[in-house]
Amino acid sequence: MKPHSFFVIIFLVLFLYLPGVSGQPSGQGDTEREFLGVCIGFYNVENLFDTINDPAIRDDDFTPGGVNRWTSERYHEKLDNLARVISLMGKDFNDDGPAVLGLAEVENRRVLIDLASQESIRGRNYQVVHYAGPDARGVDVAFFYQPKYFTYFSSKAYPSVIDGQPGFRTRDQLLLTGELLGERMHFIVAHWPSRRGGERRSRPLRIAMADIARHIIDSIQAAEPGAKIIFMGDLNDNPTDVSIRRHLRSKGSTDDVRDNDLYNPFETLFRRGIGSNAWRDSWSLFDQILLNPGLLGKDFDSFRFYRAEVFNAPFLRQPSGRFQGYPFRTYGGGVYLGGYSDHFPTLVYLIRKK
């Protein structure tokens, strides 16, 4: 059976048998195939700072006296906005939303606890995994996870060290290991260096980060054959760029994935013109989630990749003006807009037989 035909059949079965939906496929008699689906997400929340000045980092702009006039009222509106987004991510697939959610551009553990405590997501009991990193602005990566779905084992922050550049400082790459409903799984979240100074000039920095990520993945697979690994982040490169295609060794088709490759479902979306962030009238898809071969295949006795999406619901888009349709962000041109983020979240869905 061709791969696309297989997934068409799986889609029809899932339509009937995802959690909360029951039925019986035509021609199956009394035999019932039920599937369990979970959602994994990533979200660059764009400058989630508290209002307190930390002399160790460059957070002055996000204080009441800073250029952004970052007040408690604005901070709490930002928290409420982000929680609304998280509450709706993947909800049509699983009412509990993301079981594991990678986050980028968070200042500290306090803002993560404040976010997890918002009324719209408080009931999910999101737990926080965070390490204070070396970024000069003080923005880090982190994880939320729901204990209902994920059992925490360990975590580790990998420094972003580049040979020959001892003064270089950027976000760590964070590894989270545990069990997703009884299945051992590894998650890595990253936020690679920006394109400030130009894409070509900054490219070696992202290549160096890709090499670090590849080392983490290779080390896990060497120690644990058959491991299930999900790599996610704001990579500041598109799925077709050299850092991802060559250095992460990603493929846009499951048919092309070999033992030491990664599958990038967002390459297909990018080639279709779908993006997660926009700049100068051009869409990019910097926010990606990649999977190793342990999460591919046709045996659904354990978790397998089902589909991916950019969560770009209408309320997340700039409603009018020159940037209509862009992600509706908190600030634009130095003006407070009261939006969400300059990035759309991204999601992958995993399924297995119950």
DSSP string computed for 74-129:
HHHHHHHHHHHHHHHTTTTT-TT-EEEEEEEEE--HHHHHHHHTSHHHHTT--EEE
CA dist 339 and 317 (Å) reads 9
Residue range 91-99: mean pLDDT, rounded: 97
Q: How far is CA 199 from CA 121, 203, 207, in A?
A: 37, 6, 12
Asked if residue 284 and residue 260 are part of one domain, the reply reads yes
Q: What pTM value is reported for the model? A: 0.91
140 shares a domain with 4? no
- Please check whether residues 11 and 44 belong to one and the same domain: no
Write the pLDDT tens digit of every residue in 20-40: 322 222 333 333 468 999 999
Nearest residue to 230 (alpha-carbon basis) of 94, 93, 40, 90: 40
Whether the per-residue pLDDT at 4 is higher than 50: the answer is: no
Tell whether 81 and 4 lie within a shared domain: no
| Same domain membership, residue 112 and residue 90 | yes
pLDDT tens by residue, 328-344: 999 998 999 999 999 99
Query: Closest Cα to residue 336, out of 151, 20, 70?
Result: 70
Statement: residue 59 has pLDDT above 50 = yes
pLDDT of residue 33: 63
> Alpha-carbon distance 219 to 127, whole Å?
26
Helix (H, G, I), strand (E, B) or coil at 254: helix
46 and 5 part of one domain: no
Which residue has 């976000």 as its token pair?
171
pLDDT tens by residue, 100-127: 999 999 999 999 999 999 999 999 999 9
72 in the same domain as 29: no
Q: How many CA atoms lie within 13 A of 345 on its CB side?
A: 29
Do 264 and 253 contact (CB within 8 A), yes or no? no
Percent of the chain with pLDDT over 70: 91
CATH classification of the domain holding 292: 3.60.10.10
pLDDT at 5 over 80: no
The candidate with the shortest Cα–Cα distance to 106, out of 155, 60, 67, 140, is 140
Nearest to 343 by CA among 331, 327, 332: 327
Paired tokens of 186: 């590894």
pLDDT tens sequence across 154-189? 999 999 988 888 888 899 999 999 999 999 999 999
Say yes or no: 161 and 307 in one domain.
yes
Q: Among 17-31, 76-90, 150-164, 309-323, whose mean pLDDT is lowest?
A: 17-31
In this structure, the answer to whether residues 173 and 26 fall within a common structural domain is no
Q: 23 is in which domain, residue-wise? A: 1-33
For residue range 184-208, list pLDDT tens digits in order.
Answer: 999 999 999 999 999 999 999 999 9
